[in-house]
Structure 1
Amino acid sequence: MRNLLFILLLSFGLTGFSQELNCSVVVNAQQTGNENLSIFKTLEKQLTEFVNNTKWTNRTFAPQERINCSMVITINDYSGESFQGTIQVQSSRPVYGSSYSTPLYNFNDKDLAFRYLEFQNLNFSANQFQSNLISILSFHVYMVLALDADSFSKNGGDIYYKQAQIIANYSQQQNYKGWKLEDGLQSRFALIDNVLSPTFKEFRDVMYSYHREGLDVMSDNAKQGKETIATSLKQFEAMNSRRPNSFLLRTFFDAKADEIEQIFSDGPNVNIASVKETLQKVAPTYASKWRNIKF
């Protein structure tokens, strides 16, 4: 669908679009007590321009194809050029035949630490560390791109996951948390390591079947779409049996729990008993939502 749109735009002489993201960036410094300082406004403006104007891929995106996402940076503390806080990254993509956008990525990165001098240049290098701020934002950009691509074509996000891994690898050489094995089970390292590990191979299969073969067909055949989504979620049982309550499963359901509850609480009837049994097994932290499925 995206390739077809691109060809049509070319036929009308519209060329030159390159930016991949339509990203809202917010810097919240209320917890510092100095949220009105110009440096925070400058940082927000520079990061917005950096994320939206950097050419992240070798593809050409028309405006209608740009991926909607958001980054909310909360500054908890700062001293001079040193800043600490968190970053919440979310992304979505449109569902075929509807006005609905489905969430793909919802990650709360608690290891945000960086140095920043007001008005400093922000430049991305695919193979070389520039700063921890650039590495963190770039890592999440490639995760957004990868998950979006995986939702449209099977294993379509390969090249973007590999770039996220390259960023993680060269950033390990610096003294910042989130890039190494010893930084815990909910770090950037853990996220990209899990996505690319055979232990969690079903995750990417589900990303494709849930979205492209499930959600995207619901406008034409709602029952078939719901049944495909139910079948795709069942694939998580094998993954969960190898690594119960894994970080990767929690990341998926952090983004999708509300949507799944709504899908199976309305529309054509499917076997919700089987769906609820699967959901209770693979995502018990959202048990209250699964109990609400009574349609």
Structure 2
Amino acid sequence: MRKLFLLFFASIFSISLFSQELKCNVQISSQQIQGTNKQVFRTLQSAVYEFMNSTRWTDHVYAYDERIECSIIINLTSKVSSNEYSGSAQIQVSRPVYNSSYNTVLLNFKDDDIQFEYVEYQSIDYNEATTPEGLAALLSYYAYMIIGLDYDTYSMEGGSPYFSKAEAIVNKMQNSSVSGWKSYESKKNRYWLIENFQNSSYSSVRECLYRYHRLGLDNMADRLTESRSTIAESLKLLQTAYRSKPGSYILQVFFDAKAEELVNIFSESFSEEKKRVYTIVSEIDPANISKYNTMLD
């Protein structure tokens, strides 16, 4: 009986100690593809879920409840060949705010250049030492982007090792026939997403991520006014990046995730601080000016 108890305890401890990094919800939509056995898409969804949530992406130890919350929604719109599909994907990442029940969105990104081959029941495998297959490359790239972004919000440029791994995948995929991996195809794709995070010209954006989340949001439960001021000051770092390179992709990615949150944070602020924040965000992110106008009501 004692041996059974020890085995049970060891298994529970092992699960807790070696839980993987991601808690990734996966959804595959194929409504626009007609005349195809839908079972293959259910199998694909299970395979993607297993790959994202069971792969060890770092050498760090994660408790079960420390996993990074994220989601990948893949909308397949066409069948390119017998086993090849194309479409888009929505990737969202969030993290808990300290001492609260609130989760803040870190990334809400749409990728319009999804194309990969999948044979039903085929395993998805990734090996850093080799050039990955299309689907494995796509998923591994986003896994490292998710982890890198999460780490950047806890320590200054803490995500750099994982951004480097995402960049390595982009470099390996330069000879791929599918789009999304190359600089000349678009100014808003996987290539430019990681290029901006790795580009020292945008280091102020990454500093903002740290100050905004770790020094600002994480302290709001205890020091609301001071923390809100810290967030307002962090936005000046984005202004620096914008004035250096207007229209930077990384800034659009930031505000796609944060526009509504900024309105919620500063709607209850005092008038002078509201105006300072409004002046900054309306300059950098005019696409969301209608949202920011409500902040002044």
Question: So what's the TM-score if we normalise by structure 1?
Answer: 0.93
- What's 2:66 paired with? 65
Q: 1: CA distance between counterparts of 2:106 and 2:128?
A: 24
- Does structure 2 retain, via aligned residues, the 8 Å contact 1:222–1:267? no
| SS of corresponding position for 2:262 | helix
Equivalenced residue count is 285
Q: 2: CA distance between counterparts of 1:35 and 1:92?
A: 34
Q: 2: CA distance between counterparts of 1:150 and 1:124?
A: 24
Q: 1: CA distance between counterparts of 2:270 and 2:96?
A: 22
- What's 2:214 paired with? 212
- What's 2:23 paired with? 22
- What's 1:280 paired with? 282
Structure 1 residue 35 displacement after superposition: 7.4
| SS of corresponding position for 1:177 | coil
Structure 1 residue 106 displacement after superposition: 1.2
Structure 1 residue 183 displacement after superposition: 1.5
Q: 1: CA distance between counterparts of 2:119 and 2:35?
A: 16
Aligned ranges 1:160-175 → 2 under 5 Å: 160-175=162-177
Q: 1: CA distance between counterparts of 2:175 and 2:231?
A: 41
Matched, 1:114 2:116: yes
Structure 1 residue 61 displacement after superposition: 0.7
- What's 1:42 paired with? 43
Q: 2: CA distance between counterparts of 1:209 and 1:66?
A: 22
Amino acid at match of 2:192: A
1:27-71 per-residue CA deviation (whole Å, 9 max, x = no partner) reads 000111357610000000111011000111111111110000000
* Structure 1: runs of 5 or more not aligned: 1-9
* Structure 2: runs of 5 or more not aligned: 1-9
Q: 2: CA distance between counterparts of 1:127 and 1:241?
A: 39
Q: 2: CA distance between counterparts of 1:270 and 1:209?
A: 21
Structure 1 residue 268 displacement after superposition: 6.2
- What's 2:3 paired with? none
- Does structure 2 retain, via aligned residues, the 8 Å contact 1:28–1:35? no
- What's 2:293 paired with? 291
- What's 1:194 paired with? 196
Aligned ranges 1:126-275 → 2 under 5 Å: 126-266=128-268, 271-275=273-277
Q: 1: CA distance between counterparts of 2:158 and 2:245?
A: 25
Q: 1:99 aligns with which of 98, 101, 119?
A: 101
Structure 1 residue 269 displacement after superposition: 6.3
Structure 1 residue 125 displacement after superposition: 1.2
Structure 1 residue 234 displacement after superposition: 1.3
1:248-272 per-residue CA deviation (whole Å, 9 max, x = no partner) reads 1000000111111100112566611
Alignment root-mean-square deviation, CA: 1.7
Structure 1 residue 236 displacement after superposition: 1.0
- Does structure 2 retain, via aligned residues, the 8 Å contact 1:223–1:268? no
- What's 2:78 paired with? 77
- What's 2:53 paired with? 52
Q: 2: CA distance between counterparts of 1:215 and 1:142?
A: 24
Q: 1: CA distance between counterparts of 2:213 and 2:157?
A: 13
Structure 2 CA distance for partners of 1:44 and 1:35, relative to 1, 3 Å: farther
| SS of corresponding position for 1:61 | coil
| Percentage of matched positions with identical amino acids | 36
Larger Rg: 2
Structure 1 residue 247 displacement after superposition: 1.0
| SS of corresponding position for 1:172 | helix
- Does structure 2 retain, via aligned residues, the 8 Å contact 1:206–1:235? yes
Amino acid at match of 1:85: G
Amino acid at match of 2:128: A
Amino acid at match of 1:146: G
| SS of corresponding position for 1:49 | helix
- Does structure 2 retain, via aligned residues, the 8 Å contact 1:127–1:170? no
| SS of corresponding position for 2:86 | strand
Q: 2: CA distance between counterparts of 1:80 and 1:63?
A: 39
Following TM superposition, the consecutive aligned residue runs of length 4 or more in structure 1 with deviations greater than 4 angstroms are 12-15, 267-270
Amino acid at match of 1:183: E
